[in-house]
Chain A
Amino acid sequence: MSILVNRNSKVVVQGITGRAGLFHTRQCRDYGTNIVAGVTPGKGGGVIEGIPVFDTVEEAVRATGADVSMIFVPPAGAADALLEAAAAGVGLAVCITEGIPVRDMVLAKRALQESATIMIGPNCPGIITPGECKVGIMPGDIHLKGRIGVVSRSGTLTYEAVKQLTVMGLGQSTCIGIGGDPIIGLNFIDALRMFNEDPETEGVCLIGEIGGGAEEEAALWIRNNMNKPVTAFIAGRTAPPGKRMGHAGAIVSGGKGRAEDKIRALQECGIPVAASPARMGETMAGAIKKVARR
Chain B
Amino acid sequence: MTCRSLRDLDDPETNFEFFLNEFQVIGGGAAAAACFSLNSCLHAAILAPVLHERPQYGVIMNIHEYQAKEILRSFGIPVPQGRVAFREAQVERAARELGGRCVVKAQIYAGGRGKAGGVRLVATPEEAVQTAKNLFGKTLVTPQTGPEGLIVRRILVEEAVEVSREFYLSLTLDRQTSRYCIIASAEGGMEIEAIAEKSPEKIHLLTIDPFVGLRTYQARKLALALGMRGNVCEECVTLIMNLYRCCLEKDCSLVEINPLVVTGSDWLLAMDAKMNLDDNALFRHPEYQEMTDLSQIDPLEITAGEFDLSYIKLKGSIGCMVNGAGLAMATLDMLSEYGGEPANFLDVGGGAGRDRVAAAFRIILDDPAVKGVFVNIFGGIMRCDVIAEGIIQAASDTGCHLPIVVRMDGTLVEEGKRLLHESGLNVRFTHDLTEGVQAIVGMVR
Interface residues of A (CB under 8 A from B): 20, 24, 75-76, 99-103, 105-107, 109-111, 125, 137-139, 142, 152-160, 163, 180, 182-183, 207, 209-210, 212-213, 216-217, 220, 233, 235-251, 253-259, 275-278
Contacts and interface: CB of A to CB of B under 8 A. Distances in A.
Pairs A-B, 10 closest by C-beta atoms: A154-B326, A246-B325, A156-B324, A254-B8, A157-B326, A241-B12, A101-B281, A277-B330, A156-B327, A235-B329
Contacts of B176: 213
Contacts of B314: 240
B284 A101 contact: yes
B305 to A, nearest CB: 12
Interface in B274-291: 278, 280-281, 283-284
Contacts of B323: 156
Contact of A209 (B248, B326, B337, B345): B326
A153 to B, nearest CB: 7
Contacts of B339: none
A27 to B, nearest CB: 9
A201 B212 CA distance: 41
B328 A246 contact: yes
Given A103-B251, A106-B173, A246-B347, A235 B11 contact: no
A240 B332 CA distance: 11
Of A237, A248, A250, A254, the most chain B CB neighbours within 10 A belong to A254
Given A106-B180, A237-B333, A139 B325 contact: no
A253 B54 contact: yes
Contacts of B410: 139, 142, 159
8 contacts: A76-B283, A107-B210, A111-B211, A139-B411, A235-B333, A255-B16, A256-B7, A277-B331
B57 A243 contact: yes
Contacts of B35: none
Nearest to B8: A254
Could you tell me the dominant secondary structure of chain B's interface residues? loop
Where chain A touches its partner, the secondary structure class is: loop
B14 interface: yes
Interface in B110-163: 144, 146
Interface stretch (B65-73, B84-92, B232-240, B378-386): B378-386
Given A137-B381, A155-B324, A159-B410, A246 B433 contact: no
A102 B7 CA distance: 19
A155 B56 contact: no
A102 B327 contact: no
B400 interface: no
Residues of B in contact with A, size category: 35 or more
Nearest to A101: B281
B409 interface: yes
B324 A157 contact: yes
B8 A102 contact: no
Contacts of A99: 280
Interface in B326-381: 326-334, 336-337, 342, 345, 347, 350-351, 378-381
A217 B144 CA distance: 28
Contacts of A24: 381
Contacts of A158: 326
A216 B6 CA distance: 14
Interface string B160-180: 000000000000010110111
A68 B336 CA distance: 42
Contacts of B13: 254
Contacts of A100: 280
B12 A254 contact: yes
A125 B278 contact: no
Interface in B400-415: 409-411
B22 interface: no
Nearest to B336: A238
Nearest to A107: B210
Contacts of A157: 324, 326-327, 330
Contacts of A240: 146, 312, 314
Interface string B203-222: 00000011100000000000
B173 A242 contact: no
B175 A183 contact: yes
B421 to A, nearest CB: 23
A188 to B, nearest CB: 13
Contacts of A241: 8, 12
Contacts of A244: 55, 57, 59, 312
B242 interface: no
Contacts of A249: 175
Interface in B184-208: 193
A278 B434 contact: yes
B413 to A, nearest CB: 11
B209 to A, nearest CB: 7
B293 interface: no
A105 B253 CA distance: 12
A182 B325 contact: no
Nearest to B193: A255
A110 B329 CA distance: 31
B263 interface: no
B433 A155 contact: no
Contact of A250 (B3, B327, B329): B329
Contacts of A236: 329-330, 333
Nearest to A102: B278
Which of B6, B14, B330, B336 has the most chain A CB atoms inside 10 A of its CB? B330
